Chain A
Amino acid sequence: MHAAVSPPFEFVGCTELREILGVKAEDEVQLLDLLEEVPIESIYYHTHEYFLRHQFLLGPYPNDFATWVATQVRDRVLGERLGVIDPYEFETLEDLREALISVMEDHLSKMLAVPRVDDGEPFYFMLSRMVEVPTETVARTLQELRDGIARLDTSAIYFHFYAARIRRNRRDSDFTIWAEEGLHMPELAQHLRAINPYIFSLEQLRKRLVEICDTFLNGGSRER
């Protein structure tokens, strides 16, 4: 048994209402131009929120821009270069936008012709309105945290692990912060902090989080 701690961790899920912006790119120059113009929420939608829409399988590239240039335009080099940009490494979304633009400008400066979609789909810019959904589930112990992670809708994993970083403007997820400040388990927090969210689908991440919690619950660490 673990001692109760305060304040408890309150699990929140989320749903998104996807909005069609009505602008589309059919070649890489159009994509670049629109990357500069669209609302920042659209950059967020196509990079960070990509993970909310990939609960089970991540797909070949971990953001919509890389996926489109690689699979629709069939420009694998640009796909790889955009695909390796980790959205969680940037302080602000505008910094992320600049990084995407910079890679595209560099790539296009070396091309003799503008790669475009011939037999594929245009890129449709989107954004979403997220609605937070309190789940009435709280955790006061590591066991309860672990059980909540294991059984709740995966949108709660997204909300606390991915969206939290933007919401709080911190590099740490809600789980990491609560492990440190609520459970007073800095070693657990360190393990959670070490997870690279960029390479997991939500279900894979859920599994990883449960494994880490189980390790600590089963005496894998002296901490409680």
Chain B
Amino acid sequence: MTNSLEDYRKVTPPGSVDLLYHMSEKVKGKSLLNINSTRSGGGVAEILNRLVPMLNELEIKVGWEIIQGSEGFFKVTKAFHNALQGRDPGISDRMYQLYIEENRENAKRLTFDADMILVHDPQPAALIDYGDRAGKWVWRCHIDISQPARRVWRFLKNYVLKYDAAIFSLPAFAQKLPIPKFLIYPSIDPLSDKNRELSRREVNKILDRLGIPRDKPILLQVSRFDRFKDPVGVIQAYRIVKKHNDCRLILVGGGAADDPEGDVVLQEVREAAGKDPDIHVLLLPPDSNIEVNALQRAATIVLQKSLREGFGLTVAEAMWKGKPVVGGFAGGITVQIMYYHTGYTVSSVEGAAFRVRHLLNNPEIGRKMGSDAKEYIRRNFLITRQLADYLTLMAALTNGR
């Protein structure tokens, strides 16, 4: 069921939904065209599936087009994606050519008659060469391109330079560019299955189904099995804590078809867990939103002990559920956790253990931190804030058009 903007009044700060209506007056009648590579699966599609109906409700003429391509094209863009995040798989001249050709073919099919054209990520970036330039073109980069494979970035940069502006999720993710670069944090949807309220009964039922007893405090990390998420480090921290505090550790991840390393890391995690009955390693399907929601609500403390991180929205998800989070000092975790107030950022296994132990032995501190964390997310990382950011972007860029 799709929620209406009015449904968000009960979970957002006072006056913020009204501000969205007033804000929309500034851009009423203007049009916005989103272009990305898929309608389902992945964070970009997830957020657009919510933002597009909300923008429509605000009487913005919003369109959403999908770039189409051959299997070969998406292999190329996947390689681009990895290369822009520093893992250069080797891209041939033929692959670059395929990228250009299929963007050109898409341009013939699409129309770009909008006041603002928001192009998401690298896949459709080359459309700028073929589109009508009457509107403002903005490249929305959802990934960390701070340390890209240089050749791939040089290629992509030739297109990005032609945009009127670019948007990044963190200042650290941006590259030097002679066009305006804006900062818009990603967000979570508080009414989605992953984040909506669940009753204690629903939570218990799901934990029973997953075979998780609720007899002792639960430490939880939700993330794919990737060395940058340091799941083995989490187990080491748990063992330090366990010397004095009885608790369970749940590591939840999903298998990613395009991540061959995932199986290797999962094996390492299982070996590190050994036969400890209080460590639960769960491999859940990608659509296990309610299960993740229930596990986060059942947790006493949530960890996200990443060594390197994109934005790390699982932190906001846990904070939204009123949980204190112990997170690695990496990427977007540092802007979500206000140190000592809404959680702790740590730089070592020992640091994680120390903070977890502190919270387990001072539950009143954990409760206060969790309560402040929830309020902090309400103010800064809900989808309504991101909607306000896009309206502001439209007002700032299309004014006078």
Contact = CB atoms under 8 A, between A and B. Distances in A.
**A and B from one assembly?**
yes
Given A15-B392, A135-B18, A153-B14, 16 more contacts: A15-B19, A20-B168, A20-B171, A20-B182, A22-B176, A22-B177, A55-B379, A56-B378, A57-B372, A57-B375, A59-B338, A119-B329, A120-B329, A131-B26, A133-B26, A150-B14
Interface string B146-183: 00000000000000000000001001101011001111
Contacts of B338: 57, 59
Which 4 A-B residue pairs are closest in the complex by CB-CB distance?
A: A153-B15, A124-B171, A18-B183, A153-B19
Interface size class of B (residues with CB under 8 A): 35 or more
Contacts of B379: 55-56
Interface string B8-27: 00000111101100110110
B15 A57 contact: no
B278 interface: no
Contacts of A15: 19, 23, 388-389, 391-392
B272 interface: no
Contact of A135 (B22, B176, B375, B396): B22
A152 B26 contact: no
B18 A20 contact: no
A154 B15 contact: yes
B16 to A, nearest CB: 5
A171 interface: no
A156 interface: yes
Interface stretch (B58-66, B296-304, B311-319, B340-348): B340-348
Interface of A: 13, 15-20, 22, 24, 53, 55-57, 59-60, 71, 119-122, 124, 126, 129, 131, 133-136, 150-156
Interface string B269-287: 0000000000000000000
Nearest to A130: B392
Interface in B312-339: 329, 334, 338-339
Contacts of B182: 17-20
Contact of B171 (A24, A71, A120, A136): A24
B19 A129 contact: no
B213 to A, nearest CB: 35
Interface string B94-125: 00000000000000000000000000000000
B223 to A, nearest CB: 21
A22 B14 CA distance: 34
A74 B18 CA distance: 41
Interface centre among A20, A53, A129, A135 (most CB of B within 10 A): A20
A135 B15 CA distance: 10
Contact of B14 (A16, A71, A152): A152
B137 interface: no
B174 A135 contact: no
Nearest to B342: A57
A149 B394 CA distance: 28
A134 B26 CA distance: 10
Contacts, number: 97
B171 A126 contact: yes
B395 interface: yes
A24 B338 CA distance: 21
A13 B19 contact: yes
22 contacts: A13-B19, A16-B392, A17-B396, A19-B183, A20-B174, A22-B174, A22-B176, A22-B181, A56-B376, A56-B379, A57-B341, A57-B372, A119-B347, A122-B172, A124-B171, A124-B172, A131-B396, A133-B23, A151-B15, A152-B15, A153-B14, A154-B13
Interface in B1-42: 13-16, 18-19, 22-23, 25-26
Interface centre among A15, A120, A150 (most CB of B within 10 A): A15
B176 A17 contact: no
B165 to A, nearest CB: 9
Nearest to A201: B379
B176 A152 contact: no
Contact of A60 (B19, B340, B342): B340
Contacts of A119: 329, 347
B180 to A, nearest CB: 6
Interface centre among B25, B338, B339, B347 (most CB of A within 10 A): B338
Contacts of B26: 131, 133
Nearest to A135: B22
A77 to B, nearest CB: 19
B214 to A, nearest CB: 31
Interface centre among A53, A71, A129, A134 (most CB of B within 10 A): A129
Interface in B177-198: 177, 180-184
Contacts of A150: 14
Interface in B34-93: none
Contacts of B18: 135, 152-153
B143 interface: no
A59 B339 CA distance: 9
Given A60-B340, A121-B172, A17 B372 contact: no
A133 B181 contact: no
Contact of B16 (A57, A122, A124, A153): A153
